[in-house]
Structure 1
Amino acid sequence: MIRIPTRRQPRKQESTIALINVVFLMLIFFLIAGTLAPPRDPEVSFITTLREDNAAPPDMLFIAADGSASWRGEPVEIESNLAAWAEEHAGTPFRVAADRDLPATELVDIVGALRGAGLTNIVLVTEHAAE
């Protein structure tokens, strides 16, 4: 009996290119779909309400209890930035996060100055209270 050696087909190696492509596409998707917001000012304790607004605003004017303001993590003077904010946020919401210890009269004065500069869509950002 003559034995004829059979030629074994080498096993095909699994290609990881498809997996790499899928992971890369997912990375691109999450980079585009995700939004990065600057951190909130740690010195501001939000006003508490019973209803929650799920918006995560990227730009907010933070007003501390002593009346000092910060924008995008930098201290600012409200009066000197009114015109720039009115131009940048024309027709879009302008968000204000005020410390709960800020006197209401000061908050009303600040919102009045913002309205006087031409900002018509002012949103007061609050924190949802646990019931």
Structure 2
Amino acid sequence: MKRYTKPIHLQELSPHRRADSSLPLINVVFLLLLFLLVSGTLRPPLPDEFAWAETSRDEGAGNIRGGLVLTREGRVWSEGQALESGELADFLIRTAETSDLLTVQVDKRTRMESVATLAAQARSSGIARLTLVTVEADGP
């Protein structure tokens, strides 16, 4: 009897490659970078040469979103744009319709007359509470 032989090709087993363990780390770093880029662009810019007013006690709380910025010269800014007196009055009326609280970021070189004028305008528009946002001073 005749024998027929046929070559059999067996697949070579390659060693099992472990998944790259740095891939999840790269994903987390990328997402963190993306978050920082987006969160940095959401806050409206402050006017040039703005210097935060300082306080010595850590009391109260304020949310700067939707608030105003009072500059050294007494100009009022909102969302990165300077407001004229008519625009300020409209802004204060719209704010009073939704809340009785207004948050103001104050430059430390602002004259007290400017703060008092803004407070009077806010009060006449129906805003009952005014929060001045400052930074904590280094020490006494």
- How far apart in 1 are the matches of 2:95 and 2:110? 26
1:84 pairs with 81, 91, 94, which one?
Answer: 91
- How far apart in 2 are the matches of 1:84 and 1:68? 14
State yes or no: 1:101 paired with 2:109: yes
Return the TM-score normalized by structure 2.
0.62
Aligned-pair CA distance for 1:92: 6.8
Return the TM-score normalized by structure 1.
0.65
1:40-91 alpha-carbon deviations (Å, 9 max, x no partner): 3233322221024676724442222222222222111144233334424622
Gaps of at least 5 residues in structure 2 are 1-9
CA contact (8 A) 2:89 2:125 kept: yes
- How far apart in 1 are the matches of 2:109 and 2:16? 69
Q: Could you say what the CA RMSD is over the residues aligned between the two structures, in angstroms?
A: 3.8
> Would you say how many aligned residue pairs link Structure 1 and Structure 2?
124
1:11 pairs with 9, 12, 15, which one?
Answer: 15
1:3 paired residue number: none
CA contact (8 A) 1:57 1:95 kept: yes
What is the SS of the residue equivalent to 1:41?
A: coil
Aligned-pair CA distance for 1:22: 8.4
Instruction: Tell me: CA distance 1:14–1:82, structure 2 relative to 1, closer, same or farther (3 Å).
Output: farther
Q: 4+ residue stretches of structure 1 with deviation over 4 A?
A: 53-56
Which deviates more from structure 2 when the two are superposed, residues 6-15 or residues 43-52? Answer: 6-15
Identity %: 16
Q: Where in structure 2 are the equivalents of 1:1-131 lying within 5 Å? A: 8-15=12-19, 19=23, 23=27, 27=31, 31=35, 35-36=39-40, 37-52=43-58, 57-88=64-95, 90-91=98-99, 93-131=101-139
Gaps of at least 5 residues in structure 1 are 1-5
Instruction: Tell me: CA distance 1:92–1:10, structure 2 relative to 1, closer, same or farther (3 Å).
Output: farther
